[in-house]
Amino acid sequence: QNMKRLVDNRIELVRASWSELTISISDVTLSDEGMYTCSLFTMPVRTAKAYLTVLGVPEKPEIDGLTKPALEGDHVTLTCITQGSKPAADLRWFRNEKEVKGAKEVNASGKTFTVRSSLQLLVDRNDDGVAYTCRVDHVALTQTPQQATEVLEVHYAPRVEIIHSLGVPQEGQYLKLECVSKGNPSPDPVMWTKDGSDLPDLERMIVEGRELTFTSLNKTDNGTYRCEASNHLGTSSAEYVLYVYDAPTTLPPSTTPSLHPIPPDPTALLGTHVSDRTVSGNRDPNALGQHSTDHALIGGVVAVVVFVTLCLIIVLGRYLARHKGTYLTNEAKGADDAPDADTAIINAEGNHAHAEEKKEYFI
């Protein structure tokens, strides 16, 4: 190398003959890269040259810039760094195994390169628990690539939702309201109120953790129920408007079977979602408005049918009045003073010709 004799304990002569000379180098470093010349001292002397390229293996990457925990809405910059690569390595970012784009920067350091890649993040609650991985791709890494992973921890204010077990609550039924709150740190416990005050009947209204249970509904339970959850980042609440319907009445069974079964009344459970109702008295205020709309629609249809029927009767009457009269056949027209049918037809034709002569024309 550089026309210097190879004097190094790492270099070993493996095979030497008049036709072949083989050496091996252990613990190869970047300084071993260069042109190597083999000379055979024959007459004449023969030489052969070979260039040795040494790859710089990149170091395991490191991720900087991560703060734990991050807050929702923060701007975070993650930086991945790897050193010692030759040629320059490639850095790739992954968000839960899905690749995302980063900004790459390469700097030379002697014969090797230092590579950086930055990833800009606007953190939200969806980043909580997400794993960000920086992976090094390089020709020297023939097996598993080098990589580093960091898991984000994001703190955020809670959000609350109420889930109910019944679509149409009725008297005497069992009802469960569940306050589903999502926040970090977890907002525990939650607080239940009715119409802005504490729950009035703790014997029938049982609170267990995030659940509010009614063992047996009645009309006094009507009202607005509120669930509130909070942590050190904020407070959130949700409301549920409860309207308890009358329990359906059951008639005693008849001893005589009915020949024509009566279909169920479709208005028995008429109403909207309980969470969109306004509590006022013991009757559903939306039921009256629905019946009024149905009556107005039926009345309009009947009026249109009556009007069309009258118009048809008037048109038909005028048509019949204009075409009213007596119509005679040719035999009937000449039947007077005719002994037989043939004579009657001849007389009718004669009368028709005579009538044509009596026509008058006005100009």
Q: For the chain, which residues make up each domain, given as ranges?
A: 11-52, 59-152, 157-242
Degrees to nearest 5, angle at CA 230 with 179 and 160: 30
Per-residue pLDDT of the chain (363 residues; tens, 9 = 90+): 455 566 677 888 888 777 777 888 888 888 888 888 887 777 787 788 888 888 888 999 999 998 889 999 999 999 999 999 999 999 999 999 899 999 999 999 888 999 999 999 999 999 999 999 999 998 888 777 789 999 999 999 999 999 999 889 999 999 999 999 999 998 878 899 999 999 988 888 899 888 999 999 999 999 999 999 999 999 999 999 999 999 887 555 554 444 344 444 433 333 333 333 333 334 444 444 445 567 778 888 898 999 999 999 998 888 887 766 555 555 555 555 556 656 655 665 555 444 444 444 444
Distance CA 166, CA 212 (A): 13
Degrees to nearest 5, angle at CA 253 with 249 and 254: 125
The reply to whether 59-152 and 157-242 are identical in fold is yes
Reported pTM: 0.55
Burial degree of 234 (CB within 10 A; 0-12, 13-18, 19+): middle
Distance CA 158, CA 168 (A): 29
* CATH of the structural domain 59-152, one choice from 2.40.30.10, 3.40.190.10, 3.30.2000.10, 2.60.40.10: 2.60.40.10
Cis peptide bond upstream of 200, omega within 30: no
H or E element, residue 285: helix 285-322
Contacts (Cβ under 8 Å, ≥6 apart) of 131: 95, 96, 149, 150, 151, 152
- Classified by CATH at the fold level, domain 157-242 comes out as Immunoglobulin-like (2.60.40)
Distance CA 70, CA 72 (A): 7
Cα–Cα nearest to 193, from 236, 157, 163, 223: 223
Q: Where do runs of H (alpha helix) occur along 82-165?
A: none
